[in-house]
Chains A and B, each alone.
Chain A
Amino acid sequence: MSERVRRSLSGPLASLAVIVVTVLWTIPTFGLFVSSLRPAGQVADSGWWTVFTHPSLTLANYHTVLFEGGFGVSGGLMPYLVNSLAIAIPATLFPLVIAAMAAYALAWIRFKGSSVIFFGIFALQVVPLQMALIPLLRLFSQGVHVGNVAIIPSPHLAGTYVPVWVAHTIFALPLAIFLLHNFIAQLPREVMEAAVMDGASHFKIFRSIVVPLAAPALASFAIFQFLWVWNDLLVALTFAGGTPQVAPLTARLAQLAGGFGSRWELLTAGAFVSIVIPLIVFFSLQRFFVRGLVAGSVKG
């Protein structure tokens, strides 16, 4: 770019524009954070900006929202927080392992139909998960019947995490296999061939060569998937929505936010609790996450 434009683009006006946008982008979250720290009565009566003239902050909202409730729920949000973790950890690990193995098989085990299967999985990315919700839910609740014959009996899984884990795992697989395949297929051929010459089985190669070498890609996908599951509402509502024993934080918060005349101080604290873990993941592993995001920019 010419000097003049370069100067105007990096000049005070440009900087001002970026700063203004950044401030605008940050204010809503900041407001939420400040509100969550204000005493209950004040949150309902005045805007959070009044804190600058009448400062008064407390951690009481967090204590109430986590342990006491106040939404007509005895235990507060703590059980939902536990649910969120109990859903997100397995729902990250299962697809990661299954997809890594499938990706390895498609990349390094020669067999007829390999590319057909790869392309089939690849093409499944066009299926939005909405397309599978109703039949999958029926499968979980009723099993599979042809006429009166039960091919798969009703698994009685209502009120457990299993349907949510399985649903998240299935919906993650097409993209996960695609991304990990791209990475695993590019591992150096010499290393793989040397291992075969040494008589290593596919299992040994996978364990001792592929997993360590593909660690960055695996980590990147794991973060991506964890955030996706943590932030998900649709799968949670469909497969765990009506049952407080397994419903995650997002489902509960959506419900609370939907009601008008909510207790704002608790809602704000609850919302902040729900974003703390993604924020920790995001800040500590930002580099991986962005890389995974760029690679995964076609998640459909």
Chain B
Amino acid sequence: MPTAPTTLADSTLADAVTKSMNTAGAVIGFLAVLAALFAVAGRARGRWSRRTALAVFLVPALALLTVGLLIPAVRTIYLSLHGADGTRSVGMRNYVWAFTNDAIRQVLLNTVVWIVVAPIAATALGLGLAVLVDRMRHEALYKALIFLPMAVSFVGASIIWKFVYEYRAPGEHQIGLLSQVFMTLGWKNPPNWLLSHPLNNFLLMVILVWVQTGFAMVVLSAAIKAVPTDIVEAAKLDGARGVRVFVFVTLPMIRNTMIVVLTTIMITTLKVFDIVRTMTGGNFGTQVLANEMYSQSFVQFNTGRGSALAVILFLAVLPLVGYNIVRLRKERVAR
């Protein structure tokens, strides 16, 4: 954890004004530099026009991506083969550590459970809702309410759910909704939810599902509406009935969208960091890969181990993102 800011030096109105001016200054400065470049470069004619245009248009993006993403990513691979301070070479030892250390194995196991359970739950729920909401009155209202958590940050969502899972010792007034519901149903002493491993992992996953279901619903609903009605009508003329039409006609037509939704949520899940950090701090058996990577790198300052975990994360994301990218590219070429 970074050091807690206990005092805030000059948190006055003047300070806020200074900050805003800095921001405005940065934005105006950035735009002014661009405008100047445009003005100068716009005068270039002929052969030079194309080259100056390329330089002005493309070089900023390429420079930032090379210095800020490409080189650092390669450097992370290099660091993962080195010790805590990044100088002593240790070969594959950081990776061996990751897969043999009991605590880290638990972390990897948790992560696998997360990326299997949460995305499937969110996608299935989203699909179900997309089908059901399709013919309801006030469809847009239901969709907006279910989609709403998407606009809430994971930190905000975690605080919202902290209030649901909050636990009080038996006999005290419950302020947590979950305990209250179970007590109303007759369970006198419900457990301290967030301490109960492995139940707590699933309770944290609920938050991710809560956030992501709306996304799945909105995208899948759009896909279902895009299925040509004549194909569905034709299947019906051939004697197919409702559920069969859905399973054999609609589902195959939206299969690709479903896979994109599923992998997108999987990627989000794999990198999820805020929920675990905010709810349990990774304690009580709830640690996941992205969180452990942060903790190794920036709390324990072991760049070697942190980098190795980042590379593992990358290797896990690779096939998921890669699939989506290749598929989208194919679609683009086909278009």
Residues of A whose CB lies within 8 Å of any CB of B are 1-2, 4-6, 8-10, 14-15, 17-19, 21-22, 25-29, 31-32, 35, 43-49, 72-76, 78-79, 82-83, 85-86, 89-90, 93-94, 97-99, 101-102, 104-106, 109-111, 117, 121-128, 130-136, 139, 161, 165-167, 169-171, 173-174, 177, 182, 201-204, 206-207, 227, 230-234, 237-238, 241-245, 247, 250, 252-255, 257-258, 264, 267-268, 270-271, 274-275, 278-279, 281-282, 286, 290, 293-294, 297-300
Contact = CB atoms under 8 A, between A and B. Distances in A.
Interface stretch (B102-110, B197-205, B266-274): B266-274
Interface stretch (B88-96, B112-120, B306-314): B306-314
A203 to B, nearest CB: 4
Given A121-B65, A134-B297, A32 B160 contact: yes
Given A257-B159, A275-B153, A126 B325 contact: yes
B11 A90 contact: no
A1 B246 contact: yes
Size range of the interface on B?
Answer: 35 or more
A131 B303 CA distance: 12
A174 B321 CA distance: 13
B281 interface: yes
B276 to A, nearest CB: 11
Contacts of A29: 148-149, 152, 160
Contacts of A165: 26
Nearest to B210: A25
Nearest to B307: A134
B62 interface: yes
B68 A130 contact: no
B155 interface: yes
Contacts of A73: 5-8, 11
B219 interface: yes
Contact of B57 (A75, A101, A122, A286): A101
Contacts of B213: 25
B193 interface: no
B225 interface: no
A290 to B, nearest CB: 6
Given A134-B306, A174-B65, A298-B321, A282 B175 contact: no
10 contacts: A1-B236, A5-B241, A79-B19, A122-B329, A139-B68, A201-B45, A227-B151, A233-B274, A241-B298, A242-B3
Contacts of B328: 298
Given A82-B20, A128-B271, A203-B41, A99 B159 contact: no
